[in-house]
Chain A
């Protein structure tokens, strides 16, 4: 198993390295929205002193940390894997004695992530000096606690996206479904604005959804804004959602493969 992972890593790293120019473009996409939201909310906070208790510095630190969490927890499964189902090239992967989604696609995604994080460090430093956030209240314990939380967040986000992508076994419109899913993340994860600034209804629903595990929860961990009870609650909900995501993915995947081999695509 170790050898398989090592070889897969070598292949996928080499592949991603080939596309390092695309990486810059990807970084650009990933950068623009948070910076815009940051600018919008700091301008409001500056004009009014604070928004619902959030000062300009609160917004700056929130979005700068958001860039990190989003980078770590997001995934590109749909891009690696979606078309493989539709054009039939998945057949070749299915007959290999390893699970395609849980090995090669996962490792490809991680290779991509490592490469983007390497590219992202200098960008983040530039942003740091452009916005000069005050991170004095951030403690090491928060950062350490956030690492397993982000890994958990990544796993949940990865499995949910993989489950949605596996719907491609049934429909050709999986990209549209994914777009809808993406809108849900935008609404309930805290990507647009810290959740407490969202309408009450959105906040309430967000409690019952996994999306804040991707963004809002790790940000709050890093910024040290959670009580120990909230930290535990977050981890518990993360583990529960991981279980749900595993079951959901497995169920969709198994039925999908069955259908795929029955139709003989």
Chain B
């Protein structure tokens, strides 16, 4: 309950911040629409030359684009600004204040910044998913949609956990300023089904920087390609990676309070 209240406080503060930069918000939304246009055009170009990509149809790629944009929104609205603030706080020492606040520091570090206008992006992403699922005309059952939602959440948690680990590394390597670049750079791979990638790339985006876990795999669940064992497996991976990330974060904090001066 208190967590929700805190989140709403963060949100209010961030609304204030974005109101201070109103015109930028409008420009950002326009640019965002431009990129959406580009994404649709590029899919159109691909599908004017073929009817399936990696076995998936146009509608499914639209739905995938929706999932990708969901992950991208989380990246741009939460991961990116909070990482920037976190790196800054390590550099200028204001991390000390964060630690001394009577709230879970991992929560504080990861949710205190929210790029508010990206809510619009979220709506767009969900629209794309709904439209894409409808277009694909698959025999989508309610169960498939449920497992899709479950695995999309799981995938998001996996990426969140990886992010925690990456920024926690800064406690050991203070100069590790590029901590989320690897995540950000590989994010684009989530636009297309991982099945089209060569094996080595598929291994990278599934196991090392698991973008595909949040994009391709939930879509596979939607298509009914996963059996219940696999669904359960991925779900467990999500839980375990979150627990691991919490551990790494705590160890990082300990390191920080042991070594800083």
Direct A–B contact present (CB less than 8 angstroms): yes
Residues in chain A within 8 A of chain B (CB atoms): 21-22, 25, 28-29, 31-33, 35-36, 39-40, 43-44, 47-48, 51-52, 130-131, 173, 176, 179-180, 183, 186-187, 192-193, 197-199
Contacts of A180 in B (CB 8 A): 31, 34
Q: Does B27 contact A (CB under 8 A)?
A: yes
Contact between chains at A36 and B189 (CB < 8 Å): yes
Alpha-carbon gap, A232 to B249, bound state (A): 60
Q: Does B50 contact A (CB under 8 A)?
A: yes
Q: Does B200 contact A (CB under 8 A)?
A: yes
Alpha-carbon gap, A25 to B166, bound state (A): 14
Interface of A is mostly: helix
- List CB contacts (< 8 Å) of B12-69 with chain A: 23-24, 27-28, 31, 34-35, 38, 41-42, 45-46, 48-50, 52-54
Alpha-carbon gap, A180 to B28, bound state (A): 11
Q: Which of A29, A43, A52, A197 contacts B54 (CB 8 A)?
A: A43
Contact between chains at B191 and A36 (CB < 8 Å): yes
Alpha-carbon gap, A44 to B186, bound state (A): 22
Contact between chains at B50 and A48 (CB < 8 Å): yes
Q: Does B207 contact A (CB under 8 A)?
A: no
- List CB contacts (< 8 Å) of B123-150 with chain A: none
Q: Which of A21, A44, A199 contacts B178 (CB 8 A)?
A: A21
Closest 6 CB pairs of A and B: A43-B196, A25-B181, A28-B185, A25-B178, A44-B50, A39-B197
7 further contact pairs, Cβ within 8 A, besides A43-B54, A44-B53: A25-B181, A28-B186, A39-B197, A51-B49, A176-B31, A183-B34, A192-B42
List, sorted by A's number, 23 A–B pairs whose CB atoms are closer than 8 Å.
A22-B178, A25-B181, A28-B186, A32-B185, A32-B188, A33-B188, A40-B196, A44-B46, A44-B50, A130-B200, A173-B23, A176-B27, A179-B31, A180-B31, A180-B34, A183-B35, A186-B38, A187-B38, A192-B42, A192-B45, A193-B45, A197-B45, A199-B45
Residues in chain B within 8 A of chain A (CB atoms): 23-24, 27-28, 31, 34-35, 38, 41-42, 45-46, 48-50, 52-54, 175, 178, 181-182, 185-186, 188-189, 191-192, 196-198, 200-201
Contacts of B186 in A (CB 8 A): 28, 32
Contact between chains at A198 and B45 (CB < 8 Å): yes
A69 to chain B, nearest CB (A): 20
Contact between chains at B38 and A36 (CB < 8 Å): no
Contacts of A35 in B (CB 8 A): 201
Contact between chains at B181 and A39 (CB < 8 Å): no
Alpha-carbon gap, A173 to B46, bound state (A): 33
A57 to chain B, nearest CB (A): 14
Nearest residue in B to A31 (C-beta to C-beta)? B185
Alpha-carbon gap, A52 to B38, bound state (A): 22
Contacts of B50 in A (CB 8 A): 44, 47-48, 51
A29 to chain B, nearest CB (A): 5
B59 to chain A, nearest CB (A): 17
Alpha-carbon gap, A145 to B143, bound state (A): 60
Alpha-carbon gap, A31 to B54, bound state (A): 22
Contact between chains at B24 and A36 (CB < 8 Å): no
Alpha-carbon gap, A69 to B52, bound state (A): 30
Alpha-carbon gap, A73 to B123, bound state (A): 38
Contacts of B23 in A (CB 8 A): 173
Alpha-carbon gap, A186 to B45, bound state (A): 14
Q: Which of A21, A28, A187 contacts B182 (CB 8 A)?
A: A28
Contact between chains at A40 and B192 (CB < 8 Å): yes
Alpha-carbon gap, A32 to B181, bound state (A): 12
Alpha-carbon gap, A248 to B178, bound state (A): 36
Known: A176-B28, A183-B38, A197-B45. A39 touches B196 (CB 8 A): yes
Contacts of A28 in B (CB 8 A): 181-182, 185-186
Contact between chains at B188 and A36 (CB < 8 Å): yes
Nearest residue in A to B23 (C-beta to C-beta)? A173
B222 to chain A, nearest CB (A): 20
A160 to chain B, nearest CB (A): 19
